[in-house]
A and B are shown apart, each in its own frame.
Chain A
Amino acid sequence: MTDHHAPARQNIWRRGLLTDNPGLIQLLGLCPLLAISNTLVNAIGLGVATLLTVLLTNISVSLLRPVLYNAIRIPVFVIIIAGLVTIIERLMEAWLFDLYQTLGIFVPLIVTNCLILARAEAFASRQRPVAAALDGLAMGCGFLLALVLLGGTRELLGYGSLLRDSQLLFGTTSPDFMLQLTPEHYQFLLFSLPPGAFILLGLLVAGLRWRLQTDNNSISKPEILQSSPAENTG
C-alpha cells in the first residue's frame, strides 16, 4: 500500500473488515482485544473509542501532509494520537462515566494500539483526506468487529447472556437490553478469564483465515458472514 493512487473503496472496506482485519489478520492491538472482550458492552465501548481514534488520526495526518517532513513524521503522529486519545478519554469520562470507570486503563492505552500508528504511517500520510478517512473507518470497524465477535462469544459462553450492563453504554435511564439466554446464575469461568479470550481468539483467527483461503480458490463471490457491510458501501 505504498502507492499514491487511492485504492478502490470496496477494496478499502474488504481489507479493513476481512483480508487485513487489524485484530484477526494483522493481529494488532491484541492486549485490549483480549482484556476488554469479556462482555459485549465493554467490547463495543472500547471498539468505538478505538474506531474514533483511528478515524480522526487518519484525517488529521492526511490534512497535515504538507508539513509532514521526514524528520518529524513519527513525533507528529505520536502528538496527534496522544492528543486525540486524551480528548476522547475526557469526553468519555464526562458523558459515559460508568463505562469509562469499567474500561479503566484501557482507554488511555488506546494510544499504544499499533493499529493507529500503522494506518497513519502506511496509509494516511500518503493519501487524500477522503481516502484516509475511509481507511480509518474501515480499519476501525474491522477492529470493532473483532472485539464484538470476541466479546459477544465470550459473554455468551461465560455468562450465558448478551449486552449485560447495557446501562453503561446507553445511560441509567435506558431500558435494560440484557438478554439472559441461560438460567440466572450460569457461569463458565474459563471464558470470562484471559485463557478463554486466547482460546476463542485463536479459533476466530483460524476460522477467518480458513474461510479466506477457501474463498480464494472458489470462483463464487465470498459469502462470509461479516461481508455484508462491505457489500453495502461498495
Chain B
Amino acid sequence: MADSRSLTTRWQPIAALGLVAAGMGLLIAITVSSTELRITDQRLAARMAQLTRLLPSDSYDNSLHQDRLAIRAPGQFQNDLPVTAYRARLNGEVVSIIFSLTTPDGYNGNIDLLIAIHADGHLQAVRVTRHQETPGLGDRVELEKSDWVQQFSGLATSVFTHKDWQLRKHGGQFDQLTGATITATAVLGAVERTTGFFHSRRQWLLEAPSDNLQTP
C-alpha cells in the first residue's frame, strides 16, 4: 500500500507538467493555425509593396511574386544564401528582373537589397530594404534619408569594369557617402555582382521556367 501511494505521489508532478505542456501546445497550435492565413497575406503584401515601388506600374502586367526564380549560384554572390529573382512581364515577355539579395559586407551586418534590371541590361532601381547601419551616416542608403541610391537608376552597366564599380575617391564612377565608405562599398559590391550575374546569365534568366531552386 505504502509503495503504490508513494508511486502516485512521484508521478503526480510529472503528469502535471505533461498536462501543462500539452495544454500550452494546444493553445499555440490553435493560434498558429488561426493566424496562418493572415500572416502569409501580410508577408506577401509587404513583399509586393516593396517590389512594386521599384518599377513603373504600367511597365508590366503580371503579378511579380508569382514569376520568380530561386537562384543558387555558388561563387557568384558573396554568400550561399539563395538569391531570388522576380520577373516582370508585359504581354508574356520579360521586361525587368528584380533581384532580392543580402550582402554581409555592411558596417554593421547584413544589408538586404532589391535591384531592378531591365531586360536590355540597364539598371532601373536599387533599394535597401533592411539594414542596421549607423543612423545619420550609413542609413543614408535608404531612399527616405538621401537620394544616394538614385545614382544607379538608368546606368548601362554592361560596359562597366571592376574599376568603374568603385567610389569616385577610389577612381570609380560613384558618389561617396560621407562617413559611410564601408556601407557604400557594400552596396556597390552587391550591385556589381548582381549586374555581372545578369549579363553572364541573361538568356537563362529570361527563359528559365519559374520557381524552384535552380542552378544556372
Size bracket of the A interface: 20 to 34
Measured between alpha carbons, how far is A187 from B35 in the docked complex, in Å? 39
Q: How far is the CB of B128 from chain A (nearest CB, A)?
A: 15
Residues of B close to A193: CB separation below 8 A: 134-135
Which listed residue (B13, B19, B42) contacts A94, Cβ 8 A? B42
Residues of A close to B12: CB separation below 8 A: 67, 69
Determine if B16 and A69 form an interchain contact, defined as CB atoms under 8 angstroms apart.
yes
Determine if B46 and A101 form an interchain contact, defined as CB atoms under 8 angstroms apart.
yes
Determine if A187 and B136 form an interchain contact, defined as CB atoms under 8 angstroms apart.
yes
A87 at the interface (CB under 8 A from B): yes
B28 at the interface (CB under 8 A from A): yes
**Which of A9-17, A74-82, A198-206 faces chain B?**
A74-82
Determine if A69 and B38 form an interchain contact, defined as CB atoms under 8 angstroms apart.
no
Selected A-B contacts with CB under 8 Å, 17 pairs: A67-B16, A67-B20, A69-B13, A75-B17, A79-B20, A83-B25, A83-B27, A86-B31, A87-B27, A87-B31, A93-B39, A95-B38, A97-B42, A101-B46, A189-B136, A192-B135, A192-B136
Q: How far is the CB of A170 from chain B (nearest CB, A)?
A: 16
Determine if B31 and A91 form an interchain contact, defined as CB atoms under 8 angstroms apart.
yes
Measured between alpha carbons, how far is A76 from B134 in the docked complex, in Å? 41
Residues of B close to A128: CB separation below 8 A: none
A90 at the interface (CB under 8 A from B): yes
Pairs A-B, 7 closest by C-beta atoms: A83-B24, A69-B13, A67-B16, A94-B35, A97-B42, A94-B38, A72-B17
Closest to A82 in B: B24
For chain B residues 99-158, which have a beta carbon within 8 Å of chain A? 134-136
B21 at the interface (CB under 8 A from A): yes
Measured between alpha carbons, how far is A75 from B21 in the docked complex, in Å? 9
Which listed residue (B16, B35, B39) contacts A72, Cβ 8 A? B16
CB-based A-B contact count at 8 angstroms: 62
Closest to A73 in B: B13
Task: Mark contacts of A82-122 with chain B using CB atoms, 8 A cut-off: 1 yes-contact digit, 0 otherwise.
Answer: 01001100110111011001000000000000000000000
Which listed residue (B17, B20, B24, B46) contacts A97, Cβ 8 A? B46
A1 at the interface (CB under 8 A from B): no
A134 at the interface (CB under 8 A from B): no
Measured between alpha carbons, how far is A73 from B27 in the docked complex, in Å? 20
Residues of B close to A91: CB separation below 8 A: 31, 35
Size bracket of the B interface: 20 to 34
A225 at the interface (CB under 8 A from B): no
Determine if B28 and A87 form an interchain contact, defined as CB atoms under 8 angstroms apart.
yes
Determine if A76 and B17 form an interchain contact, defined as CB atoms under 8 angstroms apart.
yes
Besides A67-B19, A76-B16, 8 other CB < 8 A contacts?
A69-B13, A69-B16, A72-B17, A75-B17, A80-B20, A94-B35, A97-B39, A97-B46
Q: How far is the CB of B110 from chain A (nearest CB, A)?
A: 12
Which listed residue (A76, A80, A90, A101) contacts B31, Cβ 8 A? A90
Closest to A76 in B: B20
B32 at the interface (CB under 8 A from A): yes
Measured between alpha carbons, how far is A193 from B135 in the docked complex, in Å? 8
Determine if A90 and B136 form an interchain contact, defined as CB atoms under 8 angstroms apart.
no
A27 at the interface (CB under 8 A from B): no
A71 at the interface (CB under 8 A from B): yes
Residues of B close to A67: CB separation below 8 A: 12-13, 16, 19-20
Residues of A close to B13: CB separation below 8 A: 67, 69, 71-72
Residues of A close to B20: CB separation below 8 A: 64, 67, 76, 79-80
Measured between alpha carbons, how far is A69 from B11 in the docked complex, in Å? 11
Closest to A96 in B: B42
Task: Mark contacts of A218-231 with chain B using CB atoms, 8 A cut-off: 1 yes-contact digit, 0 otherwise.
Answer: 00000000000000
